[in-house]
Amino acid sequence: MSEHIENGRRADALVLHELTEGRARFLAFLRRRIQSPEIAEDILHASYIRAIQHVHELRDETRADAWFYRLLRNAVVDHHRRSAVSSKVAVAEMPADLAIESVQQTKTCPCAIRELTRLKGDYARALELVEMDGMPVQAFAGNEGIAPGTASVRLHRARKALAERIQAACGPCAGEGCFDCACA
């Protein structure tokens, strides 16, 4: 019995060693999905801690990379969920004059923001999270509990619906980028 436990510990140590050897690959994976290099590092370190705590749950040592990538993907999705919630809270708590200033700084047409709020809920949420908050489509799909292909189609339809609404609301102004909008 103790030999079995000892073999298990040795296997766990080998898996953890293999995972630390793949640090550059894992960090590159995170940096493609997280804008901030510091946050990508933090997520990697937290994922290593999680791996240490749960390495005994790994059934097949040959699949350690796939298992760790799943940990990383889940951590990225969790990060984007937290970011989306905190940014929505920040905007909701922001005074109206600061919200207008924020829209001006990002060069987003006030008409686009107005029309975005009038879109169907799924479309508005898709555009807010992916286009405005920078959430990757894969993370958005996981957040919504839908397939990535479905998320892409929803985004395409949402963009098209928003463009049609802006065109109807702004007319010729919409064709010029709509950054210095004078629409009523």
- Give the CATH number of the domain where residue 105 resides: 1.10.10.10
Q: 157 and 114, same structural domain?
A: yes
Residue 27's nearest CA partner among 57, 49, 48, 7 is: 48
Q: 165 and 114, same structural domain?
A: yes
Residue 87 lies in a domain: no
- Give the CATH number of the domain where residue 55 resides: 1.10.1740.10
127 in Cβ contact with 158 (< 8 Å): yes
Residue recorded with tokens 């801690």: 49
Last-in-domain residue among 81, 107, 122: 81
Question: Which amino acid is present at 134?
Answer: G
111 in Cβ contact with 181 (< 8 Å): yes
Find the domain containing 40 and state its range: 2-81
Query: Residue 24, SS3?
Result: helix
| Residuewise pLDDT in 10s, the chain (184 residues) | 444 444 456 667 777 788 888 899 999 989 888 888 999 999 999 999 988 888 888 777 778 888 888 888 888 888 877 776 554 444 444 444 444 444 444 445 667 777 777 888 888 888 888 877 778 888 888 888 899 899 999 989 988 888 888 778 776 665 555 545 555 5
- pTM listed for this prediction: 0.45
Last-in-domain residue among 27, 59, 81: 81
* Count of positions (residues) in the chain: 184
Residue 31 lies in a domain: yes
Q: 70 and 117, same structural domain?
A: no
Cα 25–Cα 49–Cα 32 angle in degrees, nearest 5: 30
Q: How many domains does the chain have?
A: 2
Last-in-domain residue among 49, 81, 113: 81
Q: 72 and 130, same structural domain?
A: no
Q: 60 and 132, same structural domain?
A: no
